[in-house]
A and B are shown apart, each in its own frame.
Chain A
Amino acid sequence: MRLIKQQIERDGSGIVTLYPEEPEDMWHAYNLIRVGDTLRASAVRRIVSESSTGSTSSSRVHMSLTITVDKVDFDSQAGQLHINGRIAEENKFVKIGAHHTLDLELNRNFTIGKAEWDSVSLGVVREACDPAEKAEIGAVVLHEGLANVCLITEHMTVLRQRIDMSIPRKRTGSISAFEKAMDRFYETIYQSILRHLPVANLKVILLASPGFLAESLQKYIFAEAVKSDNKMILSAKPKFVTVHCSTGHVHALNEVLKSPAVIARLADTKYAKETRAMESFFKMMQTDEDRAWYGPKEVERAIEKGAVGTLLVSNSLFRSNNMSERRKYVQMVEEVKASGAGEVMILSSIHESGQRLDGLGGVAAILIFPLQDLDESDEESEAEAAVDNPGDGGLQ
């Protein structure tokens, strides 16, 4: 992403014009654009014109439209962003208030106007426009009969394909069905890698499984590549790394990304850092319970007391449509930053580590000194709150 123009007033309102270059930028845009913002982008709209005689003709017209955002919809598989809204600036073709859905396109400018650009939003812009080298990795996590082919970029984990096959179990006297099915399973994974992973551009391709499956898969891939003389795979041979994990479900990526073999190669990437931070939080939870807290209320209290050393926030919280809630989290982030002692990490909710954090309510903190009973008073107020708002459970 490139920052084309930034015009922010003293009161925080203003516009930012951005130029998206790659699919990942759509993810950043998704994190920036909120309900209520204005968005100006190029669009194609079908215009029906009626002549004086009453006959109609329709034509497709390219134009720039400004809308007030009603709904933001992100398709992570395709990397597309659809923004639904009402026209905010009239032109000769459309009237104010008419509905339109803008599909943001790569390599076309768009302009976001916000009433309030907070530090988190500006942080997203900064991050999105950071020209640092991108490290993308491919990962295949599998166990017998299940494989997930994923693409992990700096800010996103995209599940490209899930392979779920029924593999007959070994039975006395008949193992050929099992072995045949396993071969078919490997073949499907191999084809999926060829189709869904840009092998040449990836830094590493991780093959992770319990037991010996990953090694067998690696062997199979190279045997096949030799057979079909696939130069691309053969030249990428050193990129393939086998890692141990305990299951083939996607959440095993957490385990994969913290394994030493991966850390050695990808230490500086954002997702490796995020994974590590989550890991240290859980470790703290086990060793020193009172120094690891999660949930909005608990963390809020810890911040009040100035105890937070590391604040982990999922960016899903900043996508909230509730302005006051969003402001609350922004405030928490700013407070921790201001205290000087604390470090803030905003985790991408589309990564596995971010999803783990979402499971904890989206916010967690590692404290500098132990605090007890942060949740005690919570329970009491909870009892009161439960009367008028039974759905509010703290962790959602």
Chain B
Amino acid sequence: MSRHKIVRTMNLADELDDYDGDDYYEEEENEGMSQADKAKMADGLRRVREVIGDDVPTITNDKIEETLWYYYFDVERSITYLLMGATEKKKQKKTAAVDSSKARATFWDTRDSKYWRIDPRNIDNRIPPGVWDDIPFGGVPICRLAELVPPPIPVGARTTGLLGGSGPQPGKVSKLAALAKARSKAKAEKAAEVAGNDSSQSTTAVSLLNRLSKKVSTPIPVEAPAPMPVTPTPAAATEYDPPASESIPQQNDKIPTEKTRPNFIADPDSTPKALPSGFAKSMFGRRLDEMLLDLDEEIADAQLIYFSVAPSQKAAAKAKQGFEGPSPDDVVIAAQSQSKGLNKGQKAEKSSSTATTSIQKGVDGLKIAEPPEKPTAPKIARKKIDVVAEYEKSKAKRKENANLVVIGHVDAGKSTLMGRLLYDTGVVDERTIQKYKQEAEKIGKSSFALAWVLDQTGEERARGVTIDIAVNAFETEKGRFTILDAPGHRDFIPNMIAGAAQADFAVLVIDSSPGEFEAGFNIRGQTKEHALLVRSMGVQRIIVAVNKLDLLHWDQDRFDEIRQQMSQFLTTAGFQSKNVSFIPCSGLTGDNIVRKPEEGLVSWYSGPTLIEELETAKPVAKAIEKALRMTITDVYRGGVTNPVTISGRIEVGNLQIGDTIIGIPGDEKATVKGIEVDNETTEWAVAGNNVQLHLAGIEMDHLKIGDVVCHADSPLVPLKEFEAKILAFESLTPMMVDIHRGRLNASGRITKLVATLDKGNGTVTKKKPRHISPGSLAVISILVTGAPLPLEKGSRVVLRADGLTVAAGVVE
């Protein structure tokens, strides 16, 4: 079959449909729409249709599918959402533009197409009613326009000889390419003249740049792209000009998408300006007239929706020609890939304000094939910012960040409560939660869905236990919070200590169900151990969340009983009663966490919700002027450009880009290349910030979790043996202990019991005691078994032995 026959018999809509589909098929895979999801989608669609019926015009298949996707195939929720939406849709429809019934158009909703192709019942190309409801005809947002993709052409059918690997010899350019080159040059010059008259300087610069890229690229042999199939239908004779679309603010584009679609622009040379036909008039009405009026001005801006109506043979040929040469896109790409000097050219142009011609000369003078500069190790400049002053300045506009550690007995519902908090504050979206719900149901743990927001490793999910600290952040109107979700299981207390060491205040979660509170509160329960630990790590403010009260029908007596017992205990543990508050809540249902419980449900409680209580907690003031100290909580590869990244919370001091740091006890120095505070890049950071530091000049092996980062000029001296003033939780004799400080976990030996102290005034009650009984204050001396530890006077340490916290204290 000859080429033009193919063209003649081709159904444009079908073609577009196909290629569109192919195009998006790939995207789908990227999004992760698996085969199973597709099956679910088809099933969900059928079930929704059963309920709603086929006759609701505003509810289209694609809308249903989109809704299903959002709710992760939850049919009921989707239906309610759709039915609610249907009423609102009707109002909008009235205001929408006319004449959609005849529409059989060449544009395509990007998201629609993918599902139509999946559902076999929809294969019949019939466009469901209501697709175009929200789009005025002719006013299709650019983001929804389809892209024309050339079909693969059999080798024999090629019309020009420019294809394939056998590119033309350098210097020997084919006639067509030469023609294209000449044309594009002429066009660019013309555009430059117009642009030159234009007052906007930035436009000039960029359009020049476009020209530059074209000009520069001409001597470079470029592999010509496949010729576009020319379709003698409306809206086909078009030419892309992406650089233009980048530079000029888009006028009729309302929704910018990730993938900006090329504008259809007019090429004044290639297409005749015919009067609109009657058909076109009826289709586009008033819009068309306006367009024609504005045509001349808009050509200058190269920004117009243009369509040729019933093109002549000649015009078609001309249009075809437009695709024969390398498309401007290819030219630009080719030029960019080969030209190292391009960026320089850009800079030069920006700084210059002289006439365009002189710039052009200057640009011509630039060498393209400059040998690439030898990449030298970037010397990171230190800006010498006065961080303390900057911090004081920014204090007013910044929300204070507070770290809160969530503690409590195992299975008290810590992770679920925090999952709920993140969900209700909008950090986690509906879809993710629905997904977790389904997956959790599959393994028979449906109540764990919210906890999965924080418990992400396979082990944690399979066992239903948090193992390591999970860090998440959320923001309310009054402040920013970083949640450290601690594990409750006694085996993972080292991890919990790591979390508590970074916390400003604590949320103690208590399971109020019968027997469970008591289990957590007894001698081996973690409720007590955790509370004591956070207190001895320096946390002063504690919020007790009495969880799972929904199971007890919000029983006030139970709440009061727990409150009474807990406040007694917390007072003895050293918390001031004004720093302790109690909140009844339910993590699973979400009552009294972010939203108030339903009216009448908890009639006896009128206090704040958990989040309101959090907002009242003020972070503790930090010593930002002192020498830098930060315990490394993680060392990892931050990406291609940041091979070594460390994270942690700055305990004391401040830090800026360019600083030289050292990880004690190592002695390798590194330079701070970049700082991220709560995932935003900054130039400096102060005590209290949760930071990620991108480092240069160091290998990952030289930094370990638990090391302390200091400035190289004020390092800390690691200790092999030290004395500590401790509070004993268990009986102490000279023995082997684990020494914990934040993430640091080392082994050591208590070598001497120096003295026991009086709790009231700190005077020595007995020198060299034989053993230290639980609850007493004492001074002991500890020898580190392995390498010296990064400790100094005032460091808080926790000592553990045989799975119990035996003591906590401060290095003397």
Q: Which residues of A contact B (CB under 8 A)?
A: 143, 145-146, 166-172, 175, 177-179, 210-212, 216, 244-247, 249-251, 254-255, 282, 285-286, 289, 293-295, 298, 355-356, 359-361, 375, 379, 382, 393-395
Contact = CB atoms under 8 A, between A and B. Distances in A.
A355 B736 contact: yes
A395 B734 contact: yes
B635 interface: yes
Contacts of B469: 169
Given A179-B457, A246-B802, A379 B768 contact: yes
Contacts of A254: 736, 802
Given A379-B768, A393-B752, A212 B459 contact: yes
A245 B770 CA distance: 27
B292 to A, nearest CB: 52
B802 A255 contact: yes
Given A177-B637, A211-B491, A250-B747, A172 B472 contact: yes
Contacts of A298: 770
B705 A169 contact: yes
A168 to B, nearest CB: 4
A166 B733 contact: no
Contacts of B746: 249
B472 A359 contact: no
B517 to A, nearest CB: 24
A170 B491 contact: no
A359 B771 contact: no
B605 interface: no
Contacts of A168: 634-636
Nearest to A282: B733
Nearest to B635: A166
Nearest to B737: A251
B738 A211 contact: no
Interface string B733-777: 111101000000111011110000000000000011011000000
A379 B767 contact: yes
> What is the interface of chain B mostly: helix, strand, loop, or mixed?
mixed
B747 A359 contact: no
A175 B733 contact: no
Contacts of B802: 246, 254-255
A246 B734 contact: no
B751 A359 contact: yes
A171 B471 contact: yes
Among A247, A254, A294, max chain B CB count under 10 A is at: A247
Nearest to A295: B770
B148 interface: no
B803 interface: yes
A212 B457 contact: no
B701 interface: yes
B530 to A, nearest CB: 16
B470 interface: yes
B770 A375 contact: yes
A216 B459 contact: yes
Contact of B749 (A143, A146, A359, A361): A359
B747 A179 contact: no
B78 to A, nearest CB: 27
A286 B634 contact: no
Contacts of B472: 172
Interface string B631-651: 001111100000000010000
A179 B703 CA distance: 20
B534 to A, nearest CB: 20
26 contacts: A166-B701, A166-B705, A167-B705, A168-B635, A169-B469, A171-B647, A175-B457, A179-B457, A210-B494, A211-B467, A211-B489, A212-B463, A216-B459, A246-B738, A247-B738, A247-B745, A249-B736, A289-B771, A294-B770, A359-B734, A360-B733, A375-B768, A379-B767, A379-B768, A393-B752, A393-B768
Contacts of B701: 166
A285 B731 contact: yes
Given A177-B636, A177-B637, A210-B803, A356 B704 contact: no
B411 to A, nearest CB: 15
Contacts of B703: 166
A285 B733 contact: yes
B805 to A, nearest CB: 10
B492 interface: yes
Contacts of B749: 359
Contacts of B636: 168, 171, 177
Nearest to A355: B736
Given A145-B705, A285-B771, A356-B735, A169 B633 contact: yes
Given A166-B700, A170-B470, A246-B491, A179 B803 contact: no
A316 to B, nearest CB: 14
Contacts of A143: 494, 745
A232 B278 CA distance: 89
Interface string B788-812: 0000000000001111100000000
B458 interface: yes
Given A172-B470, A285-B733, A294-B733, A166 B751 contact: no
